[in-house]
Amino acid sequence: MYVCLCNAVSDTAIRKAVRSYQPKTFQELKCIVPVANKCGKCACKARLIMEDELQQLVHYEKIA
């Protein structure tokens, strides 16, 4: 699903970026993936996806 229509960024692209680079803040994510830099309507959803993916990474690290 597209999260950012302005830059054609999907939820999958955001999740892959978070898994690869593990940004600590939304500003770091914005440096990696071009979200919320035009109209900004995607910021909330992109942040939620980032937080969800980071939580899953922590969960996987505890299992391993």
The domains located in the chain, with CATH, are 2-63 (1.10.10.1100)
How does residue 58 score in pLDDT terms, banded at 50, 70 and 90? confident
Global confidence as pTM: 0.89
What is the pLDDT, as a whole number, of residue 60? Answer: 65
Residue 64, pLDDT above cutoff 60: no
User: Which of 28, 15, 9 shows the shortest CA–CA distance to 56?
Assistant: 15
Q: Dihedrals φ, ψ of 6, to 5°?
A: -60, -40
- Taking only the tens place, the pLDDT of each residue in 1-40 is 999 999 999 999 999 999 999 999 999 999 999 999 999 9
